[in-house]
Chain A
Amino acid sequence: MNVKTFLAMLARDAHVARRNMWALLTQTMLQPLLFTFVFGRVMTGSGMMPASYKGMLAPGIMGMSMVMTGIQAVSMPLIAEFQFTREIEDRLLAPMRIEWLAVEKILAGMVQALVSGAVVLGAAWLVLGAGVGLDFHRPLLFAAVMILVALFSASGGLMLGCSVGQTQIGLMFSLVLAPMIFFGCVYYPWSALGGFPIIQKMVLLNPLVYASEGLRGTLAPQYPHISIGAVAGALAAFDALLIVGGLKKFYGKAVS
């Protein structure tokens, strides 16, 4: 691999992200914060939900933000650059194997997902006020889950970005991302689906479940959650699958 070329492409993505920082931040933060406010503050404050719901909600919201940010950060530019504007061609011609460009995209997406997770976590904490009940006693485990989640989101973005056409972006949101969020154990723990055994089994195919449950398991272990070992295994498997599949798709798009 040509390190200089790779770093220059990372620098380019960082430069563009800096330029669009406010738009990116708004896109990342607004929805999660509204959710956090309505469910974590309004509903708990009015007594319609127990105060303990706050600690349950925060890791889920954080996982969702990371996943959505990573997916969008990688897939949206790819969809545009491969199709209408073909902006990506200059980078495909750079003196580096083209697979590394996909790797660079994943890396840039991961960074954005991690930043988004950290920002949302901090902001949610502020919005929720007292009694969130998160604990940071296992920082290494927490970091490991964060990285697995970020990797999943960015490689998922690569896969989607190379599979979805420009005209199907709306479909991607309503058909892939929306069900993923609602069946992603963001607003409830996986065990809460116990009353719907079929759905409970089916959602195990949804990687967001492991992101939410994994973050819940490390940040708020007092709530029911899938074991960290299972979460890590599932996320690693999804990561591997999406990286291999995404790279293949990317290559197929880049070379005819």
Chain B
Amino acid sequence: MGVGITTKELRKVYTSPPPMAAGVAGFSMMGMRGSAPKGKKKSYEIIALDGISLAIRPGEIFGLLGPNGAGKSTTIGILTTRVRPTSGEARIGEYDVWRQQVQAKWLIGVVQQRPNLDFSLTAREILLFHGAYYGLASAERARRAAALLERFHLATRADEMVRGFSGGMMQRLSIARAMVHEPEVLFLDEPSTGLDPQTKLLLWEIIREYNARGKTILLTTHNMDEADELCHRIAIVDQGHVIAEGTPAELKVSIPGGYLVRLHVGHGSPELTGRLERLPGVTEVRADGNAVDLYADRGGPLIGAIVNAVAESGTELCDVHISEPSLENLFLHHTGRSLRQ
């Protein structure tokens, strides 16, 4: 048996700057209003989530993908009892996260975006006390702590204060800590940020192992490869909305054409756009000044035709970039912005 996660029409509007408490590092700046009529207190409003509905199945690795400020951390904040939803409903298994906080907290483990380790303790003590907060017996705590320290390659420095740890070590320890009580649902907010490639692979392996035991995992990332590699299903979020949802394969197929050819030309013109649109295999062309994005069902074989079309429009081709079907392209297609912007 596993535990799923559901949210219905989740909305969050911040009326004051969100305190760091909620782990809300990034939030959307959309919908921000300036000053209210004179004499009144200055009003402040940030719509971080605008109706997020998700159904994450038990035993699934689910990814929330989006740029900074999309609402990923706020979603996790609500699902982990740290942010009060303005409206809508969030459930962990059968428990309403806001109304049955303690029951929900028993089921979850959380890794925040930034390490928040207890600096007064050693690495091992952090895991031991965490286990104690969940009522684990002393021998069991010690066993699990030792196993996790080993698994995360932290055993040699287990009895040092964490103050002196590197960022990567702190991140690993944060993840180990979230696993001590073996939660049914594990939240990982940008888990691989700041990890070197080797550690990232170790982390992916550990996440898969944990998932293989029937545990549900919700992770956020703005890294395409990570979402593609790790997640069974993905929701792409932007400005507080889910803009696409499905398996990585489904999502990639859903982009018109699949391939994205990005051109830089000397002078963009409607004529050029028209010519490009008529090329075989091209499904969509978006021109913005001298930058032209072409969605097509092929990449390289199109180049000759593109070069000709550009020349016939009386301008020159400055740069061509072909990318294969990817989630990055999908995001670009839906929002007109790159994920990294």
Contacts and interface: CB of A to CB of B under 8 A. Distances in A.
Nearest to A82: B21
B114 A86 contact: yes
A90 B77 CA distance: 13
B83 interface: yes
Interface string B114-154: 10111111000110011011110000000000000000000
A256 B22 contact: yes
A255 B130 contact: no
Contacts of B70: none
B21 A87 contact: no
A87 B118 contact: yes
B84 A90 contact: no
A256 B102 contact: no
A89 B81 contact: no
A5 B130 CA distance: 9
Contacts of A194: none
A4 interface: yes
Contacts of A19: 120
B14 interface: yes
A15 interface: yes
Contacts of A201: none
B107 to A, nearest CB: 9
Contact of A94 (B19, B77, B112, B134): B134
Interface stretch (A6-14, A38-46, A145-153, A213-221): A6-14
Contact of A15 (B77, B101, B116, B125): B125
A254 interface: yes
Nearest to A7: B132
Contact of A254 (B21, B112, B120, B133): B21
B266 interface: no
Contacts of A82: 19-21
Interface string A11-26: 1100110011000000
Interface residues of B, number: 37
Interface residues of A, number: 31
A249 to B, nearest CB: 12
Contact of A253 (B21, B110, B125): B21
A255 B81 CA distance: 8
Contacts of A222: none
Given A15-B125, A256-B83, A86 B132 contact: no
Nearest to B110: A93
A11 B117 contact: no
A86 B170 CA distance: 13
A256 B22 CA distance: 6
Contacts of B19: 82, 253, 256
A84 B84 CA distance: 22
Contacts of B114: 86
A16 B121 contact: yes
A93 B174 CA distance: 13
Nearest to B163: A85
A174 interface: no
Given A5-B135, A11-B129, A93-B110, A256 B105 contact: no
A255 B105 contact: no
Interface in A70-120: 82-83, 85-98
Given A86-B112, A95-B105, A256-B22, A4 B135 contact: yes
A73 to B, nearest CB: 13
B80 interface: yes
A155 to B, nearest CB: 20
A2 interface: yes
A246 to B, nearest CB: 16
Given A2-B102, A9-B133, A11-B129, A89 B112 contact: yes
A97 B101 CA distance: 7
A5 B134 contact: yes
Contacts of B133: 5, 8-9, 90-91, 94-96
B58 interface: no
A247 to B, nearest CB: 15
Contact of A93 (B18, B81, B132): B81
Contacts of B177: 90
A82 B116 CA distance: 10
Given A5-B134, A90-B116, A255 B83 contact: yes
Interface in B4-51: 14, 18-24
B234 interface: no
Contact of B80 (A11, A85, A93, A253): A93
30 contacts: A5-B133, A11-B132, A12-B121, A19-B120, A85-B116, A85-B119, A87-B116, A87-B119, A87-B120, A88-B116, A89-B23, A89-B110, A89-B116, A93-B80, A93-B105, A93-B108, A93-B110, A94-B133, A95-B133, A97-B101, A97-B102, A253-B21, A255-B21, A255-B83, A256-B21, A256-B22, A256-B24, A256-B77, A256-B83, A256-B84
Interface of A: 2, 4-5, 8-9, 11-12, 15-16, 19-20, 82-83, 85-98, 253-256
The list of the 4 closest CB pairs from A to B, nearest first, reads: A8-B132, A94-B133, A4-B135, A256-B22
